[in-house]
Amino acid sequence: MAFHSVVPNAVGRLGSLLETFLPWLGLAVPLLLVLALLRRSAVALVALLLPVAVWGNLFGRMALAQEDRGAHDIMAVQHNVSDENSDPEGTASALIEAAPDVVALEELTPSALSVYESVLGADYPHHVVEGTVGLWSKYPLSDVRPVDIKPKDIPEGWNRGLRTTARTPQGDIAVYVAHLPSVRIRWNGLSSGWRDESAGLLGDAIAAEELDKVILLGDLNSTVDDRGLDPVTERMDSTGRSFAFSWPATLPVSRIDHVMTRSMTVTDIRTLPATGSDHLPIAAGIRFEP
Protein backbone atom coordinates (compact mmCIF):
# COMPACT_ATOMS: atom_id res chain seq x y z
CA MET A 1 0.00 0.00 0.00
CA ALA A 2 2.77 2.44 0.91
CA PHE A 3 4.93 1.80 -2.14
CA HIS A 4 2.37 0.99 -4.83
CA SER A 5 3.97 3.50 -7.18
CA VAL A 6 7.15 1.41 -7.45
CA VAL A 7 5.28 -1.66 -8.70
CA PRO A 8 6.23 -1.69 -12.41
CA ASN A 9 3.72 -1.32 -15.22
CA ALA A 10 5.99 -2.83 -17.84
CA VAL A 11 4.50 -6.33 -17.54
CA GLY A 12 0.73 -6.59 -17.64
CA ARG A 13 0.38 -3.11 -16.17
CA LEU A 14 0.45 -4.73 -12.74
CA GLY A 15 0.99 -1.37 -11.06
CA SER A 16 -2.23 0.04 -12.46
CA LEU A 17 -4.08 -3.16 -11.63
CA LEU A 18 -2.93 -2.95 -8.01
CA GLU A 19 -3.82 0.75 -7.78
CA THR A 20 -7.31 0.18 -9.20
CA PHE A 21 -8.22 -1.82 -6.10
CA LEU A 22 -5.77 -0.21 -3.67
CA PRO A 23 -8.24 0.53 -0.83
CA TRP A 24 -9.27 -3.13 -0.74
CA LEU A 25 -5.78 -4.22 0.33
CA GLY A 26 -6.92 -3.15 3.77
CA LEU A 27 -9.00 -6.33 3.93
CA ALA A 28 -5.75 -8.15 4.73
CA VAL A 29 -5.72 -6.47 8.14
CA PRO A 30 -8.71 -8.29 9.72
CA LEU A 31 -7.43 -11.57 8.24
CA LEU A 32 -4.02 -11.02 9.80
CA LEU A 33 -5.69 -9.99 13.04
CA VAL A 34 -7.54 -13.32 13.22
CA LEU A 35 -4.31 -15.21 12.56
CA ALA A 36 -2.48 -13.20 15.24
CA LEU A 37 -5.22 -13.95 17.78
CA LEU A 38 -5.23 -17.64 16.91
CA ARG A 39 -1.48 -17.76 17.44
CA ARG A 40 -1.77 -15.56 20.54
CA SER A 41 1.15 -13.56 19.21
CA ALA A 42 1.73 -10.16 20.79
CA VAL A 43 4.46 -9.45 18.22
CA ALA A 44 2.04 -10.03 15.33
CA LEU A 45 -0.56 -7.78 16.95
CA VAL A 46 1.96 -4.97 17.33
CA ALA A 47 3.18 -5.51 13.75
CA LEU A 48 -0.41 -5.03 12.53
CA LEU A 49 -0.18 -1.40 13.61
CA LEU A 50 1.98 -0.70 10.54
CA PRO A 51 -0.53 -1.68 7.80
CA VAL A 52 -3.33 -0.11 9.85
CA ALA A 53 -1.39 3.17 10.00
CA VAL A 54 -0.60 3.07 6.27
CA TRP A 55 -4.21 2.37 5.29
CA GLY A 56 -5.44 5.06 7.67
CA ASN A 57 -3.03 7.60 6.21
CA LEU A 58 -4.11 6.80 2.64
CA PHE A 59 -7.83 6.27 3.09
CA GLY A 60 -8.85 7.11 6.65
CA ARG A 61 -10.33 10.49 5.79
CA MET A 62 -12.34 8.94 2.99
CA ALA A 63 -13.66 6.17 5.23
CA LEU A 64 -14.76 8.70 7.85
CA ALA A 65 -16.14 11.21 5.35
CA GLN A 66 -19.65 12.38 6.01
CA GLU A 67 -22.12 13.55 3.40
CA ASP A 68 -21.34 17.19 4.06
CA ARG A 69 -23.53 18.99 1.59
CA GLY A 70 -22.24 22.39 2.57
CA ALA A 71 -22.27 25.62 0.64
CA HIS A 72 -21.69 25.18 -3.06
CA ASP A 73 -22.27 27.22 -6.19
CA ILE A 74 -22.95 24.39 -8.63
CA MET A 75 -24.27 20.86 -8.27
CA ALA A 76 -23.04 18.50 -10.97
CA VAL A 77 -24.20 14.97 -11.79
CA GLN A 78 -22.16 12.49 -13.81
CA HIS A 79 -23.62 9.23 -15.12
CA ASN A 80 -22.70 6.54 -17.60
CA VAL A 81 -26.28 5.65 -18.50
CA SER A 82 -25.27 2.41 -20.34
CA ASP A 83 -26.07 1.73 -23.96
CA GLU A 84 -28.12 -1.26 -22.76
CA ASN A 85 -30.30 0.77 -20.40
CA SER A 86 -33.92 -0.33 -20.88
CA ASP A 87 -35.38 2.59 -18.93
CA PRO A 88 -33.84 5.89 -20.11
CA GLU A 89 -36.96 7.81 -19.04
CA GLY A 90 -36.72 6.52 -15.48
CA THR A 91 -32.98 7.18 -15.45
CA ALA A 92 -33.43 10.80 -16.53
CA SER A 93 -36.17 11.36 -13.96
CA ALA A 94 -33.97 9.94 -11.20
CA LEU A 95 -31.14 12.33 -12.08
CA ILE A 96 -33.46 15.34 -11.95
CA GLU A 97 -34.36 14.45 -8.35
CA ALA A 98 -30.82 15.33 -7.27
CA ALA A 99 -31.49 18.92 -8.47
CA PRO A 100 -28.18 19.36 -10.31
CA ASP A 101 -27.24 22.41 -12.35
CA VAL A 102 -25.37 20.38 -14.97
CA VAL A 103 -25.77 16.73 -15.98
CA ALA A 104 -23.18 14.80 -17.99
CA LEU A 105 -24.15 11.53 -19.67
CA GLU A 106 -22.13 8.88 -21.49
CA GLU A 107 -23.04 5.89 -23.68
CA LEU A 108 -25.88 7.77 -25.32
CA THR A 109 -27.52 5.83 -28.13
CA PRO A 110 -29.55 7.40 -30.96
CA SER A 111 -32.76 5.76 -29.75
CA ALA A 112 -32.31 6.81 -26.12
CA LEU A 113 -31.07 10.32 -26.88
CA SER A 114 -34.52 11.61 -27.81
CA VAL A 115 -35.86 10.31 -24.48
CA TYR A 116 -33.18 12.11 -22.48
CA GLU A 117 -33.77 15.28 -24.47
CA SER A 118 -37.50 15.11 -23.79
CA VAL A 119 -37.31 14.35 -20.07
CA LEU A 120 -34.39 16.63 -19.21
CA GLY A 121 -35.37 19.46 -21.55
CA ALA A 122 -37.84 21.20 -19.25
CA ASP A 123 -35.33 21.62 -16.41
CA TYR A 124 -32.21 21.88 -18.56
CA PRO A 125 -32.98 24.00 -21.63
CA HIS A 126 -29.36 24.03 -22.82
CA HIS A 127 -27.69 20.84 -23.99
CA VAL A 128 -24.95 19.66 -26.33
CA VAL A 129 -24.10 16.20 -27.63
CA GLU A 130 -20.96 14.96 -29.37
CA GLY A 131 -20.92 11.33 -30.37
CA THR A 132 -22.00 9.28 -27.35
CA VAL A 133 -21.46 11.95 -24.66
CA GLY A 134 -23.66 14.90 -23.76
CA LEU A 135 -24.17 17.73 -21.31
CA TRP A 136 -27.46 19.20 -20.07
CA SER A 137 -27.27 22.56 -18.31
CA LYS A 138 -29.36 25.23 -16.64
CA TYR A 139 -26.77 27.72 -17.89
CA PRO A 140 -26.35 28.84 -21.51
CA LEU A 141 -23.67 26.91 -23.38
CA SER A 142 -21.38 28.25 -26.08
CA ASP A 143 -18.12 27.46 -27.87
CA VAL A 144 -19.01 23.78 -28.21
CA ARG A 145 -16.48 21.51 -29.84
CA PRO A 146 -15.46 17.87 -29.79
CA VAL A 147 -12.34 16.87 -27.86
CA ASP A 148 -10.19 14.34 -29.69
CA ILE A 149 -9.36 11.63 -27.17
CA LYS A 150 -9.44 8.76 -29.69
CA PRO A 151 -6.47 6.40 -29.50
CA LYS A 152 -4.81 6.03 -32.89
CA ASP A 153 -5.72 2.36 -33.35
CA ILE A 154 -9.46 2.87 -32.83
CA PRO A 155 -11.41 3.28 -36.10
CA GLU A 156 -12.84 6.64 -37.15
CA GLY A 157 -16.28 7.57 -35.85
CA TRP A 158 -15.34 6.97 -32.21
CA ASN A 159 -16.23 10.25 -30.47
CA ARG A 160 -16.36 10.37 -26.69
CA GLY A 161 -15.25 13.86 -25.73
CA LEU A 162 -16.67 17.37 -25.77
CA ARG A 163 -15.83 20.81 -24.45
CA THR A 164 -18.18 23.75 -23.96
CA THR A 165 -18.38 27.02 -22.05
CA ALA A 166 -21.07 27.35 -19.37
CA ARG A 167 -22.05 30.98 -18.84
CA THR A 168 -22.89 31.09 -15.12
CA PRO A 169 -23.78 34.19 -13.05
CA GLN A 170 -20.34 33.90 -11.44
CA GLY A 171 -18.48 33.78 -14.75
CA ASP A 172 -17.58 31.46 -17.59
CA ILE A 173 -16.52 27.88 -16.90
CA ALA A 174 -15.01 25.40 -19.35
CA VAL A 175 -16.87 22.09 -19.01
CA TYR A 176 -15.43 18.86 -20.40
CA VAL A 177 -17.31 15.57 -20.73
CA ALA A 178 -15.25 12.48 -21.50
CA HIS A 179 -15.58 8.72 -21.68
CA LEU A 180 -12.22 7.01 -21.81
CA PRO A 181 -11.83 3.51 -23.34
CA SER A 182 -12.64 0.51 -21.18
CA VAL A 183 -9.99 -1.68 -19.58
CA ARG A 184 -10.00 -5.45 -19.28
CA ILE A 185 -8.45 -7.77 -16.72
CA ARG A 186 -6.87 -10.66 -18.62
CA TRP A 187 -4.77 -13.66 -17.67
CA ASN A 188 -1.60 -11.64 -18.33
CA GLY A 189 -2.62 -8.51 -16.43
CA LEU A 190 -4.52 -5.30 -17.11
CA SER A 191 -5.28 -4.27 -20.69
CA SER A 192 -5.32 -0.48 -20.43
CA GLY A 193 -3.22 0.82 -23.33
CA TRP A 194 -6.07 2.61 -25.10
CA ARG A 195 -7.32 4.06 -21.80
CA ASP A 196 -3.87 5.39 -20.95
CA GLU A 197 -3.41 6.90 -24.43
CA SER A 198 -6.82 8.56 -24.24
CA ALA A 199 -6.03 9.94 -20.76
CA GLY A 200 -2.90 11.55 -22.20
CA LEU A 201 -4.90 13.25 -24.94
CA LEU A 202 -7.47 14.48 -22.43
CA GLY A 203 -4.74 15.81 -20.17
CA ASP A 204 -3.21 17.72 -23.10
CA ALA A 205 -6.59 19.28 -23.94
CA ILE A 206 -7.10 20.43 -20.36
CA ALA A 207 -3.56 21.80 -20.18
CA ALA A 208 -4.26 23.90 -23.28
CA GLU A 209 -7.57 25.23 -21.92
CA GLU A 210 -7.51 29.03 -21.78
CA LEU A 211 -10.29 29.51 -19.24
CA ASP A 212 -9.06 29.36 -15.66
CA LYS A 213 -12.03 27.50 -14.18
CA VAL A 214 -12.61 23.99 -15.51
CA ILE A 215 -15.01 21.17 -14.66
CA LEU A 216 -14.39 17.66 -15.97
CA LEU A 217 -17.19 15.10 -15.81
CA GLY A 218 -16.91 11.60 -17.14
CA ASP A 219 -16.46 7.88 -16.98
CA LEU A 220 -12.67 7.71 -17.01
CA ASN A 221 -12.50 3.93 -16.55
CA SER A 222 -9.90 4.47 -13.85
CA THR A 223 -9.62 5.35 -10.20
CA VAL A 224 -7.69 8.37 -8.98
CA ASP A 225 -5.00 6.07 -7.55
CA ASP A 226 -4.26 4.50 -10.95
CA ARG A 227 -1.15 6.07 -12.48
CA GLY A 228 -2.72 5.61 -15.92
CA LEU A 229 -4.86 8.64 -15.13
CA ASP A 230 -1.90 10.82 -14.07
CA PRO A 231 -2.08 13.09 -17.17
CA VAL A 232 -5.53 14.16 -15.94
CA THR A 233 -5.19 14.03 -12.14
CA GLU A 234 -1.96 16.03 -12.24
CA ARG A 235 -3.93 18.93 -13.72
CA MET A 236 -7.22 18.59 -11.83
CA ASP A 237 -8.55 18.24 -8.31
CA SER A 238 -9.24 14.51 -8.27
CA THR A 239 -12.06 14.65 -5.71
CA GLY A 240 -10.58 11.96 -3.52
CA ARG A 241 -12.55 12.97 -0.44
CA SER A 242 -14.81 9.95 -0.18
CA PHE A 243 -14.98 6.51 -1.71
CA ALA A 244 -18.32 6.99 -3.55
CA PHE A 245 -17.80 3.72 -5.40
CA SER A 246 -19.81 3.85 -8.63
CA TRP A 247 -19.07 0.58 -10.44
CA PRO A 248 -20.46 -2.00 -10.84
CA ALA A 249 -23.87 -0.83 -9.69
CA THR A 250 -24.81 -4.22 -8.20
CA LEU A 251 -21.74 -4.34 -5.94
CA PRO A 252 -19.65 -1.16 -6.27
CA VAL A 253 -15.94 -1.71 -5.67
CA SER A 254 -14.36 1.32 -7.36
CA ARG A 255 -15.12 4.85 -8.48
CA ILE A 256 -14.37 5.19 -12.16
CA ASP A 257 -16.92 8.01 -12.64
CA HIS A 258 -15.55 11.41 -11.72
CA VAL A 259 -16.25 15.08 -11.22
CA MET A 260 -12.98 17.00 -11.21
CA THR A 261 -12.19 20.71 -11.14
CA ARG A 262 -9.45 23.24 -11.75
CA SER A 263 -9.35 26.53 -9.84
CA MET A 264 -12.56 25.47 -8.06
CA THR A 265 -13.35 23.26 -5.05
CA VAL A 266 -15.38 20.08 -4.88
CA THR A 267 -17.18 20.36 -1.55
CA ASP A 268 -18.70 16.86 -1.47
CA ILE A 269 -19.17 13.85 -3.70
CA ARG A 270 -21.63 10.99 -3.31
CA THR A 271 -23.41 8.28 -5.24
CA LEU A 272 -27.08 8.43 -6.16
CA PRO A 273 -29.56 5.53 -6.21
CA ALA A 274 -29.19 2.92 -8.93
CA THR A 275 -30.81 3.43 -12.32
CA GLY A 276 -31.05 1.07 -15.29
CA SER A 277 -27.29 1.35 -15.81
CA ASP A 278 -24.41 -0.80 -14.63
CA HIS A 279 -22.92 2.39 -13.13
CA LEU A 280 -24.23 4.43 -10.21
CA PRO A 281 -24.68 8.16 -10.82
CA ILE A 282 -22.47 10.47 -8.78
CA ALA A 283 -23.29 13.97 -7.60
CA ALA A 284 -20.80 16.62 -6.53
CA GLY A 285 -21.13 20.07 -5.04
CA ILE A 286 -18.68 22.61 -6.48
CA ARG A 287 -17.63 25.95 -5.01
CA PHE A 288 -16.11 28.67 -7.18
CA GLU A 289 -13.25 29.44 -4.81
CA PRO A 290 -10.18 27.23 -5.39
Least-confidence region, from 64-78, 110-124, 145-159:
64-78
pLDDT above 90 for 245: yes
Q: What is the average per-residue pLDDT within 6-35?
A: 87
* Confidence band, pLDDT 50/70/90 cuts, at residue 63: confident
Query: What would you report as the CA-atom Rg of the chain, rounded to the nearest whole angstrom?
Result: 20
Cα 23 to Cα 34, 243, 251: the distances in Å are 20, 9, 15
Q: What is the average per-residue pLDDT within 137-156?
A: 97
CA distance 268 to 261: 12
Residue with the larger pLDDT of the pair 24 and 232: 232
Question: CB within 8 A of 135, min separation 6: which ones?
Answer: 102, 103, 104, 105, 127, 128, 129, 141, 162, 164, 175, 177, 217
CA distance 164 to 147: 10
pLDDT of 9 reads 84
CA distance 136 to 104: 6
pLDDT of 59 reads 83
Q: What is the average per-residue pLDDT within 184-212?
A: 90
pTM of model > 0.95: no
User: For residues 35 and 243, is the Cβ–Cβ distance under 8 A?
Assistant: no
pLDDT above 80 for 240: no
Q: What is the average per-residue pLDDT within 27-54?
A: 91
CA distance 33 to 88: 46
pLDDT above 90 for 283: yes
pLDDT of 67 reads 55
User: For residues 70 and 43, is the Cβ–Cβ distance under 8 A?
Assistant: no
